[in-house]
Chains A and B, each alone.
Chain A
Amino acid sequence: MKHLLVSGHRGCAGCCDAMATKFTLMGAGEDCIVVSPTGCLEVMTTPFPETSWNVPWIHSLFENAAAVASGIEAALKAMGKKGNTKVVAIGGDGATMDIGLQAISGAFERGHDFTYVCIDNEAYMNTGVQRSSGTPFNASTTTSPAGKVSFGNQRPKKNMPAIIAAHGSPYVATTSLAYGKDMIAKVKKATETPGPTYVHCHAPCTTGWGFDTSKTVEVARMAVKTGLWPLFEMENGEITKVRKIGTPSPVEDYLKMQSRFKHLFSKEGGAEEIAKIQAIADKNIEQYGL
């Protein structure tokens, strides 16, 4: 198969962006146009005059990928050139859940035929691991650091798939880097479903989360196995498919793999905080029937 994102880019060893993008392009196929907001992916794949992209690709700004994608789709329609060409936006959690949310809301409400893929590595990694609304509860980041009186980020992750589903999107799915085939199939389904569709990929970042570069997939898998990252599909607002996890792993198994949670194991009161995270996983397990 032709590689649509070629090697030689400047991603870190074990980079989640490169993996998630490869899976996305394997699902979307060659006949697509990709929009990237500002972020690691854009920086590492397109240092002028080089590019890693074997599909047409555009980066405009940080907060407007969905608007740019909607303009591409509208123009292709207007000029009678849409055909089977898929329009795919690929953005990080900051670009998606924070600064780009308004443009995404607009594009989904207007019903453009495109797919938005969020590569969620749970903080602003390109600028040095600052907190985003995708940062999970009690994670230490450079702007929500653990300290003498803090266990790190004190808010739970924003539920982005639910926000998109509330826009009436015909297809919303969550994916994980540990389940590549699942992600490829979901992106394929998303891009083949007419209208605005959404794929949210949980994507462990080796530098931002603090784990060995060989462990990206293992960390991703443990997030799913604990119930902290449920894998599901939603069609027209209803959950239609859920990946069962069998006997869940305790959240400690996931947390202890990453230095962003290490304070939970060294600080007084850490056990109570871990229990709160376990409660989040337990709630997911119950809510999604994992």
Chain B
Amino acid sequence: MVTKGKLEMEKMVVVEGSYAVAHAVKVCRPNVISAYPITPQTHIVEGLSQFIADGEIQNCEYINVESEFSALSALVGSSAVGARCYSATTSQGLELMHEVLFNVSGMRMPIVMTVVNRAVSAPINIWNDHQDAISQRDTGWIQLYAEDLQEAADMTAQAFKIAEDEEVLMPVMVCMDGFILSHVYEPVVLLEQELTDEYLPTYKPLNILDPKKPMSFGTLADPNYYTEFRYLQQKAMENALKKIEDAANEFYDMFGRYYGGLTDKYQTGDADIILVAMGSIVGTIKDTIDKLRQKGVKVGLLKVRSFRPFPAEAIKEAIKDAKVVAVLDKNISLGLNEGALFTEIKSCLYNTENRVPVVGYMIGHGGRDIRMSTIENIISEAQEVMESGIRKESQFTDVREEIL
């Protein structure tokens, strides 16, 4: 995080990550919150429910739905009449929403949803990885990944701004790591209401369901029209590339905090080895880099904030001088043996001059602890790749061979 001067210590409070996010949602002034409880998302929706019970969110209805499917479906109706809409979920809940996710994006509804990332069943596991959100990659949602509590909260306001932009009008998932961020207490600055009002003006929808001016939403598009709807969704994603940067820059101007736009770079300037990752693992990697830099290892980090839209140009630019790139993914495409970020980074380099070797590590599945020593091993293997080429292109990390 870059700050204008020092973080204002007197403004900092020690809160749980979920509270910081719930508070951020509150100051974004949503009209409808619709959610179904699921670990580890619950503390966010409990926090919001308490704000409602205490009358702290004006002009807002909280819908206690009977499933995640209905949580997002209700927001389809709410968004269609012009409400600013919020939900939160994770894992199984997100997978249950799958069909609705496509629908929300296709209807161009700027709904914001926190995804508290968690592994997917079976076996059932409530701990963190990114398989839930990554599995929704092609549903047409913008996906942003937060590194820490402050970013998860601040990203919420940025998400509404990006989603509601008339050149975007796409839903946004704000992804934060389950437990690692949602249940951790840390000092943060809670978003100020006045500043947030200035940053995020009242939502003014282009089209709404209104008896005075009847319109039809969600109509049937036959082969003569369907392609154009899909094309325009893609265009909106492309527009979002710039809007995500703009939202981060404007946030910095107003609040004095900056985490990168589409991506962020750490010690990449002279780095031979560049690690690429998303989410809270970034903090562990930065600490490891600090340690190894003292030993003279030229290693840096590219943090990816926006997985969708995929920031291919920013990534290509950031790794152009690297001698090896190691991508860390908290997910796997079974049968391909690769994490999604790894596959896509390789893909975006294919038709370029840059022949930098890229290796992939699938790591932290189902909440498996990620230690600095593991990151150090990855970096040392990357050094070997630099010297003698790729031996293993993509691999699981920390597999306990003894229990297989």
Stretch at the interface among B19-27, B56-64, B127-135, B304-312: B56-64
Stretch at the interface among A42-50, A183-191, A207-215: A42-50
Can you show 22 pairs from A to B with CB atoms below 8 A apart? A35-B77, A42-B220, A43-B220, A47-B222, A48-B219, A48-B222, A53-B214, A56-B213, A57-B209, A58-B216, A61-B99, A71-B63, A71-B79, A74-B74, A74-B77, A78-B59, A78-B60, A102-B70, A103-B66, A106-B66, A107-B70, A110-B64
**Given A31-B211, A102-B70, A70:B216 Cβ within 8 A:** no
CA distance A47 to B224 in the complex (A): 11
B77 touches A68 (CB 8 A): yes
CA distance A55 to B212 in the complex (A): 8
**Given A46-B216, A47-B219, A81-B81, A75:B32 Cβ within 8 A:** yes
* Smallest beta-carbon distance B34→chain A, Å: 6
**Given A35-B77, A74-B63, A102-B70, A46:B32 Cβ within 8 A:** no
Q: Does A1 contact B (CB under 8 A)?
A: no
B69 touches A72 (CB 8 A): no
Chain B residues near A102 (CB, 8 Å)? 66-67, 69-70
* Smallest beta-carbon distance B70→chain A, Å: 4
A60 touches B103 (CB 8 A): yes
A71 touches B76 (CB 8 A): yes
CA distance A46 to B222 in the complex (A): 11
Interface of A is mostly: mixed
A56 touches B209 (CB 8 A): yes
**Given A48-B220, A61-B99, A63-B69, A68:B215 Cβ within 8 A:** no
Interface residue tally on B, bucketed by range? 35 or more
Q: Does A130 contact B (CB under 8 A)?
A: no
CA distance A55 to B220 in the complex (A): 17
Q: Closest chain A residue to B77 by CB distance?
A: A71
Q: Does A33 contact B (CB under 8 A)?
A: yes
B221 touches A48 (CB 8 A): yes
Contact bitstring B54-96, A, C-beta under 8 A = 1, else 0: 0000011101111101100111111111110100000000000
CA distance A69 to B69 in the complex (A): 14
Chain B residues near A35 (CB, 8 Å)? 77
Chain A residues near B65 (CB, 8 Å)? 67, 70, 106, 110
B66 touches A105 (CB 8 A): yes
Chain B residues near A105 (CB, 8 Å)? 66
A68 touches B31 (CB 8 A): no
* Smallest beta-carbon distance A195→chain B, Å: 16
A58 touches B218 (CB 8 A): yes
CA distance A63 to B103 in the complex (A): 12
